[in-house]
Amino acid sequence: MNSSWLDAVAVRVSRRSFEPEAPRGELLDRLERVCRDFRPFPEARAALVRDPVDKVAAGIIGSYGRVSGAPCYLAFIGRMDSARVQECAGYTGEALILEATSLGLATCWVGGLFKPAAVSSRLGLGENEKVICISPVGYPKAKPSLTDRTFKVIAGSARRKPLEELMEGGRVPEGGMKAAVEAARLSPSANNRQPWRFRADGRTVTVFTDNGKREWKLSRRLDCGIAMLHFELGARAAGLAGEWEFLEAPKVARYVLSATSFS
């Protein structure tokens, strides 16, 4: 884990309209290295594709809602024969999003509006592997595009639920645990639906999904994986080391503090 990722949590926002200028070679080499080296779970990985995102982006109607202009993109790939593929893909993908942010590059998780076959043809996919999401990578246009501004209104992008609403029984933990769930609260999610809920209980924090009915074609466990990474960055920065145990639906995973976090 990179120590700059927690700083990136505070400044990251989705951008959908990009300058065609390619990021300097060493920045892309760096992203490629993190794609290769950050593989905390065998069922998910990320890959950088040095090809314009316009070749694989789609719009809601024509080009409306489309991400455009970025000279390259990240692909987030999962092994679909694993029950925990969604949360692992969210966790792994968000690390690359935060790495790109810390390198001064803009991103946007894209789950719906892309052509999976066109992305797959650029990658060597293994058995059972699928491209779950992509993200454009590059320098954003100086002024947010109409699509960016529309998403801000429709998805309420800038808004996040208060912590009390995310914690079971409204019980907000104190100290380092509070900082950790606060970092999770700032996570991006599809349509800004923020489906993650938390139960803090002494030495563990359990992440589970809300009971929202609409999946918007994307698993809420994917969003929860993103929040798990944010949570862990906040926890570790507060000296609360721990490990994830994966759980069955509607639970997602439990962060178990290591014994040293109590000494």
Contact residues for ligand FMN (CB under 6 A)? 13-14, 16, 108-113, 133, 151, 155, 157, 188-192, 218, 222-223, 226
- Tally DSSP H helices, then E strands, for the chain: 8, 7
In angstroms, what is the minimal distance from the CB of 219 to ligand FMN? 9
Provide the 8-state DSSP code for 71: S
In angstroms, what is the minimal distance from the CB of 164 to ligand FMN? 20
In angstroms, what is the minimal distance from the CB of 150 to ligand FMN? 9
In angstroms, what is the minimal distance from the CB of 22 to ligand FMN? 22
Nearest to 189 by CA among 86, 119, 120, 106: 86
CA distance 207 to 217: 21
In angstroms, what is the minimal distance from the CB of 262 to ligand FMN? 33
Judged by beta carbon, residue 2 or residue 191, the one nearer ligand FMN is: 191
Judged by beta carbon, residue 167 or residue 190, the one nearer ligand FMN is: 190
CB atoms within 10 A of CB 89: 30
Sign of the C-alpha dihedral, residues 189, 104, 11, 148? negative
CA distance 15 to 18: 8
Judged by beta carbon, residue 92 or residue 192, the one nearer ligand FMN is: 192
Phi-psi region of 3 (alpha: psi -120 to 50; beta: other; left: phi over 0): alpha
Judged by beta carbon, residue 52 or residue 188, the one nearer ligand FMN is: 188
In angstroms, what is the minimal distance from the CB of 142 to ligand FMN? 17
Nearest residue (beta carbon) to ligand FMN: 188
**Both tokens of residue 101?**
């942010």
- Please give the order of strands across the beta sheet that includes 242-246: 196-201, 204-209, 251-257, 242-246
Judged by beta carbon, residue 109 or residue 255, the one nearer ligand FMN is: 109
Judged by beta carbon, residue 94 or residue 129, the one nearer ligand FMN is: 94
**Both tokens of residue 199?**
């139960």
